[in-house]
Structure 1
Amino acid sequence: MNAVRRLLAPLALLALLAAAVLHRPWLHARLEPLGGPAVSNGFDMAVAAAAWLAFAWAGSRALDLLATGNGRANGRPGGRPPPIPRLLSDLLRALLYVAALVAILAFVLEQPVTGLLATSGVMIAVLGFALRNMIADIFSGIALNIEHPYRIGDWIELAPGVSGRVDEINWRATRLITADGAALIVPNGIVAGSRFVNFSRPEPRFRAAIPILLDHDVPAARAKRVLLSALLCADGVLATPRPDVVIDSFSPNGVGYQARFWLDDYERLSAVRDAVATVILEHLGRAGIELARPKQELRTHRPAKPVPGALRRSLLRQLDLFAAFDEAEVAELGQAMRRHHIPAGGVAVRQGEAGESLFVIAEGVFDVTLDQGRHAVHLDRLRPGDLFGEMSLLTGQPRSASVVACTDAVVFELDKGHLDPVLRRRPELARQLAELMANRQLHNDAERDRLGRDGAGQSLAASQDLLARLRGFFKL
């Protein structure tokens, strides 16, 4: 409907001029007595000139409708490209009006236009040489609008570190808005003549990577396990396609890894890269792995050899469950813990099975699932430093959920036989363990059923109940 309205005015004018041509004898009969043949001939020339201009006007409106896609905004994200690019339609409109003026001179005013065209050709050549860079930008803009390698709203990278969101494509240049909010004006000739990357096409999802250099003495399988677990725990990283870790290079300084991940919006790239890098450093620190150092670095002392059981003691010390234990007790428990390697997809504990131990995650990522008959419900994702199975260790109750490894993982197991001597020496630890576990159980229950609870009363009741069960299980 809007398209028809825009064509009404030029079509109405053409119809009026056509009616004037059809009724020329009648109009001449009325005009000649008033002004003579001069007025009559002037009327014919005016009608002819107006007809040429009206034709150019109608053609211009038709091109405008094609350029805007019958009312759709050019370059709107997700919209279809218009049949004729906007820049090309502007050029064609200008050519239509120039042709109409030449036709008026040649056919209405009966003036020779050969000399005018020759003179115009010379002037155009001179201007073209003087404005060759601008003209190249204009025709590059037309080519870009025809091919549509990018559109308004797309994120493109012209060179490493030079990227932005396309805000406008005009006759001469493309305007980008960088991630810092600054406007970047790039001539179309530079864009068309260089290689650039469009992160929004064919779909907004794309892959990014962070390089990490580790020492040669870190086994590749362990390095990949730790880095992959970090990627799975980072905010903003898409679960599908799955992130991965590959070896990228070797050098005297170490082994280069690429931690590759997918995200769905280039505007969030900096934030997601920051989250990934932060989690990678956290997981490497928990695993006791340092980034590689330049081998030309001169060390004044030999690095200390790792103390046996240091990783196990540090894992236990950072857990609230063992906050009341002294250093000797933590060292005793850490020395007694058993190391287990669980492959990706392996089940560490299964819902409903009997158990008398807990597990502390050293490397890898686990999913906690609850079997509800026909399907399993995902409850939580555990990462290095987390523990599971503590209720079975303290009370002997069956496993309340299944814990499945998302990646190759390493865990340390602490069972009842390891904790029993410590509790017999210090029975007061039982009460503190019961209080901590009561609060933890209330939190887990609230997460599962999303129901409000009266925390204080229930925590006290649960603490007393757990304490009684703990004393009975350990025969204190």
Structure 2
Amino acid sequence: MKTGLGARLLAAAILTVAGFALQARGAPWLGPDAAPVNAVARLVGGILGWLALAWVGICLVDIAVRRLSALGRPGAPPPRLVQDLARVVLLGGAVIAIVGLVFDQPVAGLLTTSGILVVVLGIALRNMIADVFAGIALNMEHPYRIGDWIEVAPGQVGRVEEINWRATRLITRDETSLVVPNGLIAGSHFINFSYPERHYRKTLRLPMDPAAPPQRVKLVLRTAALAAPGVLRDPAPIVQLEGVDEAGAVYLVRYWVADGADENRCRDAVVGAVLDGLQRAGMTAAFPRRAVSMLPRPRETATGSTAPAAPLASMLGRIDLFQAFEESDLRALADAAHRRRFTAGRALVSEGEPGRSLYLLTEGILDVRVDRDGGTVSVGRLMPGAVFGEFSLLTGAPRAASVVAETDGVAFEIDKDHLAPILRSRPEVAAQLADLMAARQRRTRERLEPAETVAAPQGGAPDRRDLLDRVRGFLGL
């Protein structure tokens, strides 16, 4: 029992005793000559006693409702509707008792008149009365509470803001108020997204080309969902193949959001991440087609896997390291790049080992780890589109961190032998690369802890001239 409620109950009980005592004995201390005042005192005592007794009943109902509410759903606010109804009944009973027992007036006529009035009002307000009793049932059962996100009809979703006598008021995701009669909610089904847990699952339905390998599509879509901000990692997103229709093979991307307020933001992030991931992987979502297209057979690499040269060249062009390169240079690098497929748990590079190549991640998630205090510490994650190994590619510096696959995936490796011919034909690009890497290394060392600097080489930060000499010496320029 809360202190405030207990104090109210004690005060009501004291006033009840005092009121009835005053009604019974009057004010004898005023003497026999104060009979009129004594009579008024008895009336005041009777009125006070009955009203205070009603107050005692209200406090007891409040206590009972709070305890029953806590047993049903811990943390749920007590149902106001039941408390308000108890106040009306108890105060109405107190008024009738005052009329009949204090003022000694007949109440039979009053009750009869009240009964007729209740029947008339009941017929006229039957829908409203049904909503009131439905509200009582909802408050007793507690299928939802203040702050829950519910769907009362398809497309009508909102956060419960208030449950009153007649209706439940929701605040929609558009920040508008939706008022739903309690009878409508009680008489139909609704969905509570916030119970039994605050987080819940949503699904993105996506048709894909049936010719695309299902396992690869699932990996790309799952990686994209994991990379979307706001999506829970526990439970982790899953991707399932639903079937095939006229648009293509239909995949279901199932992900969890923390709260109903995050749903639209998470869906926007997931759709954006999926489209971005598909672009990096050289895929597109499918749609119903009526035209026939004749496409050349994809070129096969030495390892027998299809090399998406055009998408890879486009991705390289968006990396600041290669922005000074001509389109023909980017295509040459994309054609020469080695496609590396990796499985979860495999280390692509290890800290301290010699390096001479750069990696561009197109599918999957990688974990960046460094050795610290005799153990291995994770300092970051790499998502599709990330690049690592720039300093090793340009200077041969040892790997500054270990990069381990968190999921299956694909990365493209660009070796120094692929870059050196381009820089020999365009020596000015080497100077631009040295300027860029020197500036990047200075920013990195200013903003990050040394253990978090994944791309930077070990040792002190060289200036632009030293770095250019190292690039020329390593690449034989």
Could you say whether these structures have the same fold, taking a TM-score greater than 0.5 normalized by the shorter chain as the test? yes
What residue number does 2:431 align with?
A: 431
What residue number does 1:372 align with?
A: 372
1:161 to 134, 155, 163: 155
Task: Tell me how far 1:201 sits from its aligned partner.
Answer: 3.0
Using the alignment, how far apart are the partners of 1:437 and 1:47 within structure 2?
91
Change in 2 beyond 3 A, CA 1:440/1:45: closer
Q: Which amino acid aligns with 2:282?
A: G
1:60 to 58, 74, 83: 58
Using the alignment, how far apart are the partners of 2:98 and 2:208 within structure 1?
78
How large is the RMSD of aligned CA atoms in angstroms? 3.5
Task: Tell me how far 1:222 sits from its aligned partner.
Answer: 1.6
The secondary structure found in structure 2 opposite 1:313 is helix
Task: Tell me how far 1:293 sits from its aligned partner.
Answer: 1.6
Task: Tell me how far 1:158 sits from its aligned partner.
Answer: 1.6
What residue number does 1:30 align with?
A: 32
The secondary structure found in structure 1 opposite 2:32 is helix
Of 197-206 and 154-163, deviating more is 197-206
Is the 1:312–1:337 contact (alpha carbons within 8 Å) kept by the matching residues of 2?
no
Using the alignment, how far apart are the partners of 1:419 and 1:89 within structure 2?
78
What residue number does 1:226 align with?
A: 220
Q: Which amino acid aligns with 2:334?
A: G
What residue number does 1:413 align with?
A: 413
Task: Tell me how far 1:342 sits from its aligned partner.
Answer: 0.7
What residue number does 2:181 align with?
A: 187
What residue number does 1:17 align with?
A: 19
The secondary structure found in structure 2 opposite 1:360 is strand
Deviations 1:292-349 (A, max 9, x none): 1213x345x5456657633333333333323333344333332222111111232111
Change in 2 beyond 3 A, CA 1:450/1:170: farther
Q: Show structure 1 runs of 5+ residues with no match.
A: 452-458
Change in 2 beyond 3 A, CA 1:54/1:319: closer
Deviations 1:446-473 (A, max 9, x none): 343289xxxxxxx995222222222222
What residue number does 1:310 align with?
A: 310
What residue number does 1:384 align with?
A: 384
Using the alignment, how far apart are the partners of 1:57 and 1:361 within structure 2?
71
1:190-229 aligned within 5 A: 190-229=184-223
Using the alignment, how far apart are the partners of 1:417 and 1:194 within structure 2?
70
1:342-361 aligned within 5 A: 342-361=342-361
Deviations 1:241-270 (A, max 9, x none): 222222233212211122222222321221
Task: Tell me how far 1:212 sits from its aligned partner.
Answer: 1.4
Say whether residues 1:170 and 2:164 are aligned partners: yes
What residue number does 1:455 align with?
A: none
Using the alignment, how far apart are the partners of 1:381 and 1:446 within structure 2?
21
Deviations 1:332-373 (A, max 9, x none): 332222111111232111111222222122222222222214
Say whether residues 1:80 and 2:75 are aligned partners: yes
The secondary structure found in structure 2 opposite 1:166 is strand
The secondary structure found in structure 2 opposite 1:370 is strand
1:275-290 aligned within 5 A: 275-290=269-284
Say whether residues 1:334 and 2:328 are aligned partners: no
What residue number does 2:456 align with?
A: none
Change in 2 beyond 3 A, CA 1:437/1:118: same
Change in 2 beyond 3 A, CA 1:375/1:231: farther
Change in 2 beyond 3 A, CA 1:319/1:57: closer
The secondary structure found in structure 2 opposite 1:207 is strand
Say whether residues 1:262 and 2:274 are aligned partners: no
Tell me the number of residue pairs that the alignment of Structure 1 and Structure 2 aligns: 457
Q: Which amino acid aligns with 2:422?
A: V
Is the 2:26–2:41 contact (alpha carbons within 8 Å) kept by the matching residues of 1?
no
Q: Show structure 2 runs of 5+ residues with no match.
A: 300-306, 452-459
Task: Tell me how far 1:3 sits from its aligned partner.
Answer: 3.2
Task: Tell me how far 1:174 sits from its aligned partner.
Answer: 0.8
Change in 2 beyond 3 A, CA 1:474/1:49: closer
Change in 2 beyond 3 A, CA 1:107/1:446: same
Q: Which amino acid aligns with 2:25?
A: H
Is the 1:68–1:86 contact (alpha carbons within 8 Å) kept by the matching residues of 2?
no
Q: Which amino acid aligns with 1:416?
A: K
Of 114-123 and 268-277, deviating more is 114-123
Change in 2 beyond 3 A, CA 1:112/1:306: same
What residue number does 1:446 align with?
A: 446
Identity of aligned residues (%): 45
1:97-112 aligned within 5 A: 97-103=91-97
What residue number does 2:475 align with?
A: 474
